[in-house]
Structure 1
Amino acid sequence: MKEKWLTFILMIVTVPIAGELNFYPFQNDFRVSLGTPAFFLFLLWLRSVSPLVSGLLVGAAVTIFRMGLETTLGPLRDWEAAFQHHYPVFFYYLTYAIVFAAVRLNRHHHRPLLLGVLGVTIEIAATSVELLLRSPAAAPLTALATWKQIALIAFFRSFFVLGFFNLVKLRQSKAAEEQQRKEKEKMLVLISELYEETIQLNKTLYNAENIAQDSYRLYQSLKDSQHLLREDLAQQALRIAGQVHEIKKDNQRIYAGLSGLISHDSEYLPLDELAGIVLRSNRKYARSLGKKIGLDLHMDGVFPPCHVYATLSILNNLVVNAVEAIKETGSIRIVVKRDHNTVIFSVADNGPGIASKHLEKIFFPGFTTKYDKSGNASTGIGLAYVKQEVERMLGTVQAGTAGGGTGAVFTITLPLDQIAKKVE
């Protein structure tokens, strides 16, 4: 609304000024100026404002402006004489607006040729009214040469405005298309991120369910003993199972909402897609920690679809461990390679690396060299969990020093059939 009224005010100011760029084609006070093209352009632009209102106000503004210039700078110092000299221009713009409204010109924006013909007709009608008021004698109006000039001027002015107007509309259309393209790209990125988050969230649900079942089995085993201490441990295990169950329920509600937007029904996905999810999610994790870490992925070989949760669990743990090990800036390279029926995951970073005295302890539960800002030690179960899961799937995991003597590299070797989708 504000933009519309600003444009309306701009029209009232611009048309009188543009009218001063003029020439006189006939032997009277009738002038041809840029005021008419400017008025035509604004009428085409301001579709929500009545042309009659525009015609009244612009006609009055042009008349008053010319009278002011005449009495201030011209030979006429009398307002009444200046009014007699310039009042026909008021009826020019009023007639222009009346005919513009009568033919409903703004309904034909999609038909430029018709728009041009009607624009010429409107200008000829408005010019006829002004000439009639300025030259009561019929002779100047009946001269064929006069009408040729009027029509030619109207043709050039109207089609010049239409060309400019359509050029602006074309630029606006391209700008709108570009904006829509950017919005679509943002939406695709959002959908892609939601898709990845649903997979990660469903993995959390999967892990939470396993933890709950394991804790409950531990509770049942401890409950069988009559020892008081074991009774306390059993209650603790039950409480852990209940807490994990609550986490699972909360995640289920979130997952239900997201999965309604993003369809993901299979527990198996292409391995390159899963590795890509690990790559992108850890880029976001690194940014959230305020670190500048470059992560890249290299795939070597053809792989069948792999189990989502098992693959993400082991690979994501290694990459997260590398992100957390790097202090501020660094790089991480993920390599996934197939060797016949074996898949090899390698995660190398250029962080501080692993001291030789820690290489044998790094997979022990509870062992850690990482501390938060408050000095609290990490749980030290990430790598132990990875080792346990890998060995459960008949694979191996090794830690060592990356090339160049800096950083760390973790290598997991697994039988492909342990994570690949079985062919039925």
Structure 2
Amino acid sequence: MKKLKRTLTVVIGVAIASQIYFGFLIQDFTIALSVIIFSVFLYNYTELNPIQTAILTGISTTFCRSVWVYCSNMDFMKTIRITTPEIMFFTTFGILFYFLYYKNGKKDLTRFILSVFCCDFISNVVEISIRTRISGENSNMIKALLLVAIVRTLVVLIILILMKYYNSFLVKEEHEERYRKLILLTSSFKSEIYFMNKNASEIEDVMKKSFSVYEIVSKNHYSEELKNLTLDIAKDIHEIKKDYIRVMRGLEEMSNEKIDVEHMKIKDIISILEIYTKDYIIAKSLNIELDFKVECNFYVSQHFYLVSIIRNLIFNGIEAIDSNEKGLIKLQIVDQGDEYVFIVSDNGTGINEGNLDFIFNPGFSTKYDKSGSICRGIGLTLVKDLTQNIFKGSISVESVQNEGTTFTVKIPISSFRR
């Protein structure tokens, strides 16, 4: 099925290209774009048999040209005499290409170009021989056909080089896109692991408290049923803790790749975040403008955690912007002596003054999804924990309702020199 589709593509594509031509040397002999297109197809569709494809192509181009020629002279026999030699051109081209390149074990661009040159030149000689009935050829014709073959072959070579360059460009773009996604995915992954580590100690505290309750129940001679219940709770928490830690250790091992210890420049980090955020804004059809300014450049070793901090603040701002208003998210990074300052601001709805003291608390959130369920509320909690515990920095917030919010993160320069 795939070969059939590609064969039809060649036949139709070359037939269309055959309508771009000019007369040359003798009456009814033309030099067409179709030969160039046909050669390019043969290079890219290596699974197609060139003889079969050439014959079908010759028939289709002859038919297309016959329609135009017949409409101009209304003479069927004359039309056949003018157009049918083109079938011999493509048939000769296909046969020669089959033996010069297709059946040859060594396939490279140089051999392909030389094969196309020979096929073009010899096929033109065959066609013009039929049209002039052999005796009409002369050395000037041969020289002219050599020149045509050289020019068309050079055009084919240029097209293939441009295609290779374009393909390598696409591959590079694809690799960069995958790298950006890997950075963002790993950032979220490591941030969740960080939060799980923090929760593990809280689970340990709960387990200790549950055993303390069991000891109190045992010492004060409560009912056997209550004593067994408190013991079962303590045991269950202990098992949950073991499973939780096992999963957490497995995730940590998965994340311990070489990429973890690579340094990244802050400008590269912000470039990745800017592309990601713009893609999100476009995908969601949001009316939001980004204004990112990085006034200094430095290496970051714990870049996954820094990505989490900045991304959470940016998307917190996006969520705060009314969908009916023109939004603006600003990011500024400056060097202030012994610390780097990260300022993220938005022109959203702002935060109620009564909530400012609670926005960093675990579970606190003012946002609801469309189903009515409250959000997890760990975004700003995570931002504060990472800022203080990983980077030994500080975070503050200023907000005015209906005007916007500004978060300021300050991190000592020494935290990036570890």
TM-score range normalised by the length of the shorter chain = 0.5 to 0.7
Q: Give the deviation of 1:49 after TM superposition.
A: 3.2
Corresponding residue to 1:221 among 212, 229, 233 = 212
Deviation of the 1:372 alpha carbon: 3.2
Determine which of 9, 19, 37 is the counterpart of 1:6. 9
Deviations 1:403-424 (A, max 9, x none): 999656677889999x7888xx
Report what 1:49 is aligned to.
Answer: 49
Task: Structure 1 unaligned segments of length 5 or more: list them.
Answer: 26-30
SS of match in other structure, 1:33: strand
Q: Calculate the TM-score normalised by the size of structure 1.
A: 0.61
Q: Distance in 2 between matches of 1:320 and 1:65?
A: 61
- Report the alpha carbon displacement of residue 154 of structure 1 after superposing the two structures with TM: 1.0
Counterpart contact for 2:69–2:79, Cα < 8 Å = no
CA deviation map 1:202-255 (0-9, x unaligned):
313322322232222323333332255898777656655655654554455555
Amino acid at match of 2:209: L
- Residue pair 1:55, 1:98 contacting (<8 A) in 2 also: yes
Deviations along 1:134-163, whole A, 9 cap, x unmatched?
36xxxx45xxxx412321331232223223
In the TM superposition, what is the alpha-carbon distance from 1:168 to its structure 2 partner? 2.5
Matching residue's letter, 1:148 = S
Number of equivalenced pairs = 393
1:171 partner amino acid: L
> Any idea what SS the aligned residue of 1:157 has?
helix
Residue 264 of structure 1: which of 246, 250, 260 is its match? 260
Contact 1:351–1:407, Cα closer than 8 Å, also in 2: yes
Match of 1:148 among 124, 136, 139: 139
Q: State percent identity of aligned pairs.
A: 14
What is the CA deviation profile of residues 311-368 of structure 1, one whole-angstrom value per residue up to 9, with x for unaligned ones?
A: 899999888877766666564657687766x888877665555666666x64897996
* 1:119 aligned partner: 120
The offset of 1:33, in angstroms, is: 1.9
The change in CA–CA distance for 1:37 and 1:251 in structure 2 (over 3 A counts) is same
Give the distance between the partners of 1:87 and 1:320, measured in 2 at CA: 66
Shift of 1:201: 3.2
Q: The residue matched to 1:370 in structure 2 has which SS?
A: coil
- The 3-state SS of whatever aligns with 2:366 is coil
CA pair 43-346 structure 1, distance change in 2 beyond 3 A: closer
* Post-superposition CA distance 1:229-283 (Å, at most 9, x none): 89877765665565565455445555554556x64269xx88969x969978996
* 1:147-198 alpha-carbon deviations (Å, 9 max, x no partner): 1232133123222322332233233223212222221221221222233233
Task: Output the amino acid matched with 1:120.
Answer: F
Task: State which drifts further: 63-72 or 174-183.
Answer: 63-72
Q: Is residue 59–residue 87 contact of structure 2 (8 Å, CA) maintained in 1?
A: yes
By how many angstroms is 1:53 displaced? 6.1
Question: What is the CA–CA distance in structure 2 between the aligned matches of 1:43 and 1:255, rounded to whole Å?
Answer: 54
Give the residue type in structure 2 aligned to 1:104. Answer: L
Deviation readout 1:28-82 (Å, 9 max, x if unpaired): xxx452267745752563352333662487279749976996799467x7x6x98
Please identify, of 175-184 and 406-415, the stretch whose mean Cα deviation from structure 2 is larger: 406-415
Distance 1:214 1:350, change over 3 A: farther
Computing the radius of gyration from Cα coordinates, the structure with the larger value is 1
Q: Give the distance between the partners of 1:396 and 1:64, measured in 2 at CA.
A: 74
Q: C-alpha separation between the residues in 2 aligned to 1:283 and 1:321?
A: 12
- The alpha-carbon deviation at position 110 of structure 1 amounts to 1.8
Q: CA separation of 1:282/1:321 partners in 2, compared to 1, >3 Å: closer, same or farther? A: farther
For residues 16-27 of structure 1, the aligned pairs below 5 Å read 22=23, 25=26
* Mapping of residues 345-424 of structure 1, within 5 Å: 362=358, 370=366, 372=368, 401-402=398-399
Name 1:178's counterpart in structure 2.
169
Relative to structure 1, the CA distance from residue 10 to residue 61 in structure 2 (aligned partners, 3 Å threshold; closer, same or farther) is same
Residues 55-94 of structure 1: matches in 2 within 5 Å? 55=55, 58=58, 62=62, 73=73, 89=85, 92-93=88-89
Q: Which runs of 5 or more residues in structure 2 are unaligned?
A: none
Find the aligned partners of 2:252 and 2:8 in 1 and give their Cα distance. 48
- Equivalents in 2 of 1:181, 1:236: separation in Å? 55
